[in-house]
Amino acid sequence: MRTNLNFFRSGLIVKTLKSLGLEHVCISPGSRNTPVTLAFAHEPGIYKHVIVDERASAFFALGLAKSTGKPVAVVCTSGTAVAELYPAIIEAYNSRIPLIAITADRPPYLRNSGSNQTINQKQIFAANCDHFYDFGLPENSGSSFIDTIKATESIWENSRHQFGGPVHLNLPFEKPLEPSSHDCDIDEETLKDIQTRMSESNGSPFPRDFSKNVNLLVGPETNVLVILGNGNYSEIFLQKCAQLVEKFKIPVCLESPLPLPGSSGYPFIRNFGNLLQSEKFFSLLDIDMIVVFGRNFTSKNMERFFGKWTKGLLNVSVKGEGFGKPAPNKRTIQINDLDAVNSLLNSEETICSKRSAFFDMITKADNEFTHLLSSQFNSVSTASELELVGSLALLLKKEISSSVFFSNSLPVRDFDYLRSLFANPVYISRGASGIDGIISTAAGITAGSGRPSVLVTGDLAFHYDSNSLQILRAKQIPLLIVLINNGGGSIFEYLPVYDESEIFSEFFKTGTGVDFGMVAKAYGLNYKLIENTEQLETGVRSFFESPAPTVFQVKFDSVQSKKTKDTIKAGLISSIRSI
């Protein structure tokens, strides 16, 4: 068969990925990636998202991978384009989201030669990506083609399993790059061998068994509390955690959003971080061992809590990473979440009375706090940022399968406080907590979920990624952006540096002065300035009646908003009667 060697090998990679289950690829234009771009273009059954800005493309892919739960590929050309993928790769690495970065490269002999758009792409993401593959220049030989298929299988597997996260596949190409420039002959025998190997591909080249030699050090006499920090949990894992609660009265505290509709059905404690505001609650924590899953926590209360906690602390991490500051009471066990929860289930036989009393106390306090929150946020209000987020929880109850994505900074913290009020699937990006790529990630989540969705973002995060509004328009992605404009980075007003008011505004708050209404309109999006509760209610309703890319801007005086928020929080914690 006469063909172009670059195109043929790219086709093998694309077909192997598709046979393993790849559904989405995000592609940015360029010349060097021509073979792989066209290989995807010619492959039916894979959604192709063409996004010019590689940084936004990678964040869009991250959003797709978050909402579909499957690896998503990103393709770009050589040079600085590759570096643009880095922020999303860092987020994917730290939140264990499967991303397959496919970067085109110049032939190795052109490196360090001053050749155009040629940089050192080898291991470029090494500090934040576990798996790098460089296939070298393609060769016309059966064994090299089979090696390509095998390596692609292992790329797929590494993105999904064990540690999960981003993988980097670097593909050097020598000209000619176009499929029509035939430069090789592949014999019938080789084609047959390839076909046979492809049909055998099952995507599981590695046996994965972590359950051997596991001893979790918690027995029936140990009073255990389980905390689920920010993590990417499977439904089966959550069901097993529910069994811990139902069978053994082990409280499981959910301190992570769940990307599932109606996730409030799980019997988990949702206000642990909030209840820690009460000294009394802390003094009642009659437990021997806390088992922590997940990577980190959003709430500052949790951080402070772990600083004070001196009894047993077991951290479950498939990568063996610890969390927070090292401390003598902390121990990390390297095991995957499911094996750990199964070991916990197996080690339990009886319910000690001490545990039962503690379980009742924490459950009562949690229910009461949820009740107090529901009463406090039972009507739509835009008096403070916290109340706006509470109002969204209320308004979105009618749209329970629509996802909500909270930007970093104050929006994610307000969600964290109000977690028990949200019934929708919720996403956050706390792997590296950047305020970059927020709109593109939300666009990807929306595209992946196939449902109209909502993004709650601050003004600086909106400004940062505003060129991604073009993705919304071009693809008519039904995303409602609720833009909280408090005149810059208001989270910094919570820091001691705020008192240095002379330099605060210039160096920290950094308000943009941008007219965001004009920006939204420039990108051809629906836009509304929300000035009262009625406009918010009717606005949200009409968005869901005819979903289209929309921006609602809500303006706040950040100082006033913080005061109101602090008063509400202090009032709620002092109203608790059950502890």
Ligand X SMILES: Cc1ncc(C[n+]2csc(CCOP(=O)(O)OP(=O)(O)O)c2C)c(N)n1
Contacting ligand X (CB under 6 A), which of 363, 433, 526, 533?
A: 433
Helix (H) / strand (E) containing 150: helix 142-160
Phi and psi angles of residue 553, each rounded to the nearest 5 degrees, phi first: -105, 130
Site for ligand X in 86-105 (CB under 6 A): none
313, 290 in Cβ contact below 8 A?
Answer: yes
Site for ligand X in 475-494 (CB under 6 A): 486, 488-491
Min dist. Cβ of residue 161 to ligand X (A): 29
Residue 378 and residue 376: Cα distance in Å, rounded?
Answer: 6
CA angle 474, 475, 478 (to 5 degrees): 120
In the list Mg ion, ligand X, none, the entry touching 434 (Cβ below 5 to 8 angstroms by class) is ligand X
Distances (CA, A) of 280 to 164, 249, 362: 40, 22, 12
Residue 32 and residue 106: Cα distance in Å, rounded?
Answer: 7
Q: Any contact of residue 458 with Mg ion (CB under 5 A)? A: yes
Nearest residue (CB) to ligand X, 39 versus 61 = 61
In the list Mg ion, ligand X, none, the entry touching 291 (Cβ below 5 to 8 angstroms by class) is none
Residue 482 and residue 93: Cα distance in Å, rounded?
Answer: 28
Min dist. Cβ of residue 490 to Mg ion (A): 5
Residue 86 and residue 99: Cα distance in Å, rounded?
Answer: 11
Contacting ligand X (CB under 6 A), which of 434, 448, 452, 478?
A: 434
Judging by DSSP bridges, how do beta strands 184-185 and 2-3 pair with one another?
Answer: antiparallel
Tokens of 152: 């692609």
Min dist. Cβ of residue 460 to Mg ion (A): 5
Tokens of 280: 């009394």
Nearest to 441 by CA among 431, 398, 266, 177: 431
Nearest residue (CB) to ligand X, 30 versus 434 = 434
Residue 282 and residue 290: Cα distance in Å, rounded?
Answer: 13
103, 74 in Cβ contact below 8 A?
Answer: no
Min dist. Cβ of residue 413 to ligand X (A): 8
Nearest residue (CB) to ligand X, 431 versus 434 = 434
Min dist. Cβ of residue 298 to ligand X (A): 13
Give the CB-nearest residue to ligand X: 458
Min dist. Cβ of residue 309 to ligand X (A): 27
Burial class (CB in 10 A: 0-12, 13-18, 19+), 480: buried
Q: Any contact of residue 486 with Mg ion (CB under 5 A)? A: yes
Min dist. Cβ of residue 479 to ligand X (A): 17
Min dist. Cβ of residue 528 to Mg ion (A): 19
Tokens of 292: 């922590």
Nearest residue (CB) to ligand X, 81 versus 484 = 484
Nearest residue (CB) to ligand X, 153 versus 459 = 459
Nearest residue (CB) to Mg ion, 241 versus 392 = 392
In the list Mg ion, ligand X, none, the entry touching 362 (Cβ below 5 to 8 angstroms by class) is none
Nearest residue (CB) to ligand X, 197 versus 562 = 562
Contacting Mg ion (CB under 5 A), which of 54, 105, 157, 459?
A: 459
Min dist. Cβ of residue 507 to ligand X (A): 11
Nearest residue (CB) to ligand X, 309 versus 494 = 494
Tokens of 441: 């990630």
Min dist. Cβ of residue 2 to ligand X (A): 49
Contacting ligand X (CB under 6 A), which of 366, 387, 416, 459?
A: 459
**Binding residues for ligand X, total number by CB under 6 A:** 16
Nearest residue (CB) to ligand X, 158 versus 408 = 408
Counting other chains too, the contacts that 190-196 makes at CB distance below 8 Å and 24 or more residues apart are: 190/141, 190/142, 190/145, 191/1, 193/142, 193/145, 193/146, 194/12, 194/142, 194/145, 194/146, 194/149
Residue that the structure tokens 């061992």 belong to = 289
Min dist. Cβ of residue 509 to ligand X (A): 8
Q: For every residue of 177-191, which 3-state class applies, written as one string? A: CCCCCCCEECCHHHH
x/- mask, Mg ion, residues 82-121, rule CB under 5 A, reads: ----------------------------------------
Min dist. Cβ of residue 226 to Mg ion (A): 35
- From 30-38, 345-353, 361-369, 459-467, span contacting ligand X (CB under 6 A): 459-467
In the list Mg ion, ligand X, none, the entry touching 269 (Cβ below 5 to 8 angstroms by class) is none
Nearest residue (CB) to ligand X, 128 versus 490 = 490
Contacting ligand X (CB under 6 A), which of 6, 33, 301, 408?
A: 408
CA distance from start to end of the chain: 77
In the list ligand X, Mg ion, none, the entry touching 461 (Cβ below 5 to 8 angstroms by class) is ligand X
Min dist. Cβ of residue 494 to ligand X (A): 9
In the list Mg ion, ligand X, none, the entry touching 255 (Cβ below 5 to 8 angstroms by class) is none
For the chain, state the CA radius of gyration.
25
Nearest residue (CB) to ligand X, 19 versus 433 = 433
Min dist. Cβ of residue 83 to ligand X (A): 15
Instruction: Sheet with 289-293: list strands edge to edge.
Output: 252-254, 224-228, 289-293, 312-316, 330-333
Question: Is the previous residue joined to 411 through a cis bond, with omega within 30 degrees of 0?
Answer: no
Kindly give the residue spans of alpha helices, DSSP state H, lying in 377-509: 385-395, 410-417, 438-449, 459-464, 469-475, 501-504
Q: Any contact of residue 460 with ligand X (CB under 6 A)? A: yes
Site for ligand X in 409-428 (CB under 6 A): 409-410
Nearest residue (CB) to Mg ion, 87 versus 458 = 458
Question: DSSP labels for 277-338?
Answer: T-HHHHHT---SEEEEESSB-S-HHHHHHHHH--SEEEEE-TT----SS--TTEEEE-S-HH
386, 418 in Cβ contact below 8 A?
Answer: yes
Nearest residue (CB) to Mg ion, 301 versus 486 = 486
Q: Any contact of residue 458 with ligand X (CB under 6 A)? A: yes
Residues that bind ligand X (CB under 6 A): 408-410, 433-436, 458-461, 486, 488-491
Binding site for Mg ion (CB under 5 A): 458-459, 486, 490
